[in-house]
Every structure is written in structure tokens, then in C-alpha cells.
Amino acid sequence: MNKIFLIGNLTRDPEMASTSSGKGVCKFSLAVNRAFANANGERECDFFDVVVWGALGDNCGKYLEKGKKVGIVGRLQTRTYQTERGENRKVTEIVADEVEFLSPRDQTPAEPKAAPQQAKKNGGKSLLELEPVDDDDLPF
């Protein structure tokens, strides 16, 4: 079984490309914190190269940027290639099947609103406008 689950932050903006047949591919690097500290009390992290294909890759290229937090489900893949100088290179990367965007879209929180059904049940008032109920008034 070859299955990987990671949560981390992008270390750089995603790079978009496409194959000769037009299929989109997105590449980015992910920093994942280790669960323990080193001898100096500092938390270290590991860096992984991630590849995302197709429509999901297009969305990653469109909406992700350096520093954003994502969850990745995928598989580990090792491939080899030859440089222009004829040197053989080996690359290990994560091929993501699922990417969950974990950072909020914008940093300004929206004001909470009561659902229309809740407002009707509460005499037209939102939950934020209701007065607290004394525990002695409850029937249980």
C-alpha cells in the first residue's frame, strides 16, 4: 500500500504547467512540522515536493500561494530523468489525489448571522440578541 497523508504550509507559490496534450499540472513544496523538538528544543520540519494533476491541479495553481496551509492525500512516487549534461537524477515526490485548502480565504472574519428559521423561532431576534435564560426557569 502506498498512501500518504500530510498537513503543512506551502514554501513557495505553486508552479503551473501543462503537458503537450493540454493536461494541467501544478507543483509546489510543502513544509510539514515534526511532532517533536530537537535537542535544542526547536521544532524541525520536513520539506516535500508535491505534484497535482488535472482540474485539481488547476485549482491549486489558482487559489494557493506561499504560506497557505493544505492537507494532502496521495502517494509517494520516485522517478528518474537525465539532465541536459547527461547526468542521471532521481526525484521522489508526492502525487496528490486530494488537496484540502485549510487556510481561510481572507483573514477578516464575517459577522455571524442567524439562520432565517432561527430568527422566526426567536421572535425575529438573532441568537446574539436573545437574553440569557435563568437555569431555575428550565423545566428539567
pLDDT per residue as tens, the chain (140 positions): 999 999 999 999 999 999 888 899 999 999 999 988 888 988 899 999 999 999 999 999 999 999 999 999 999 999 999 999 999 999 999 999 999 999 887 654 444 444 444 444 445 544 445 555 555 555 54
pLDDT of residue 8: 96
The boundaries of the domain holding residue 92 are 4-105
Closest-CA residue to 51 (of 7, 4, 97): 97
pLDDT of residue 55: 93
Helix (H) or strand (E) holding 110, with range, is none
pLDDT of residue 139: 52
In this structure, the number of other CB atoms found within 10 A of the CB of residue 112 comes to 8
Length of the chain: 140
Number of domains forming the structure of the chain: 1
Structural domain includes residue 21: yes
Helix H segments across 1-140?
54-63, 116-121
pTM for this entry: 0.70
Structural domain includes residue 26: yes
CATH number at residue 46: 2.40.50.140
Structural domain includes residue 75: yes
Strands 69-82 and 4-10, by their bridges, are antiparallel
Structural domain includes residue 84: yes
